[in-house]
Amino acid sequence: MNSHHFQPKPRMARLLTALAVALVAAFVVVPVGPASAAANTDRLNGGESLGAGQQLISPNGQFVLVMQGDGNLVEYAPGNRAVWASGTNRPNSIALMQSDGNLVVIAPGNVPVWNAGTNGNPGADVELQSDGNIVVYAQGHIAKWSTGAQTGGSSLADRIVTVANNEAGNASHNHETGTNCNFYSGALGVGSPCANGWRAQDWCADFLRWVWGSGGANTGGLNSLAISAQTYGTNHGTWHAGSALSGVQPGDAIGYKYGGSTSDDHVGIVVAVGTSSVTTIEGNYSNAVTRRTVNRNSSDISGYARPVS
């Protein structure tokens, strides 16, 4: 069976900062009728929202934050380059700046699928700045959350590594509750509903898809199976088979076959590359987002895929 979950057993050998997203279950969507933001403004005040196809534009006109029809809230830099995304994909969602100061992506049915964790700051707004950073400011212009978007020419790989590192340290996201209930499947709208608003299923591939998407990668073709990373790489010409990981780079996805599996059943994200090993951050490893050192030439490694924009 092609499972993508890895739980260590004896038989076998996360543009966000510390102020980033709180538990989805820790807030209540404020029951207001959101007003649409004025066209081509650079901010959302409390109670204002972006519906499908609506956008904010930075004061210098260089950056655009779009609530896409597919449900993903995405920031684009010059050259139509995605530099940040909420990683959500529930069509016809809205981005709402709640009156309690929380920026939330809400799917149809009033279902919150992403939030900035800034509730408790009434009067706050969210601003798309000319430097490309998206910031939630409380009253007094005190920054409470930001994407930290590295828009000054940073690579796709750099952005993916930044997101992965942030998620590894994000105690609001980097663990399961119960059996397989996790933030990342919830943000993607897949799996079975959990009582806390997350969703439950084996989630290593969901972590990869969320992180790659949040870093601005094209995630089309990825799904909740670990083998989809290999398929993605094959389709885009970026799959490199072999356990030696020759040419592997930060931001790439490593596929694993554990316990004699014939198909990849786990996947992780490379964040650093050494001569004899690589450092990875992996979802659903010991039921958490886990940083690991992986030796090259391990028999468990099937190869790696590189993301594309």
Q: How, if at all, do strands 55-57 and 103-107 pair?
A: unpaired
pLDDT over threshold 90, residue 60: no
Q: 260 or 268: whose pLDDT is higher?
A: 268
> What does the pLDDT read at residue 148?
62
Cα–Cα distance for residue pair 245/274, rounded to 1 Å: 11
Same domain flag for 119 and 58: yes
Q: How many residues does the chain have?
A: 309
Residue 7 lies in a domain: no
Residue 224 lies in a domain: yes
What's the whole-number mean pLDDT along residues 28-34?
A: 41
Mean pLDDT for all residues in the chain: 83
Same domain flag for 299 and 185: yes
Cα–Cα distance for residue pair 195/242, rounded to 1 Å: 41
Structural domain boundaries, residue 80: 24-146
Same domain flag for 101 and 205: no
**Last residue of some domain: 146, 172, 206?**
146
Nearest to 21 by CA among 172, 125, 148: 172
Give the number of C-alpha atoms closer than 13 A to the C-alpha of residue 91, restricted to the C-beta side: 0
> What does the pLDDT read at residue 286?
96
Residue 171 lies in a domain: no
pLDDT over threshold 70, residue 167: yes
Q: 184 or 81: whose pLDDT is higher?
A: 184
> What does the pLDDT read at residue 235?
97
**Per-residue tokens: 175:** 């663990």
CATH code of 273's domain: 3.90.1720
Instruction: Please name every residue paired with 279 in a beta bridge, in sequence order, or none if there are none.
Output: 272, 293
Cα–Cα distance for residue pair 65/54, rounded to 1 Å: 8
Cα–Cα distance for residue pair 38/25, rounded to 1 Å: 30
> What does the pLDDT read at residue 154?
63
What's the whole-number mean pLDDT along residues 274-280?
A: 91
What is the SS3 assignment for 267?
Answer: strand
pLDDT over threshold 60, residue 22: no
CATH code of 142's domain: 2.90.10.10
List, for residues 207-249, the tens digit of each pLDDT value: 999 999 888 889 999 999 999 999 999 999 999 999 999 999 9
Tokens 């909740």: give the residue: 224
Q: Is 234 exposed, middle or buried (0-12, 13-18, 19+ CB in 10 A)?
A: middle
> What does the pLDDT read at residue 25?
32
Tokens 């990683």: give the residue: 87
Q: Is 292 exposed, middle or buried (0-12, 13-18, 19+ CB in 10 A)?
A: middle
What's the whole-number mean pLDDT along residues 12-38?
A: 38
What's the whole-number mean pLDDT along residues 27-33?
A: 39
Cα–Cα distance for residue pair 268/284, rounded to 1 Å: 9
Nearest to 115 by CA among 36, 168, 162, 183: 183
Number of domains forming the structure of the chain: 2
> What does the pLDDT read at residue 116?
81
> What does the pLDDT read at residue 135?
83
**Last residue of some domain: 100, 120, 146?**
146
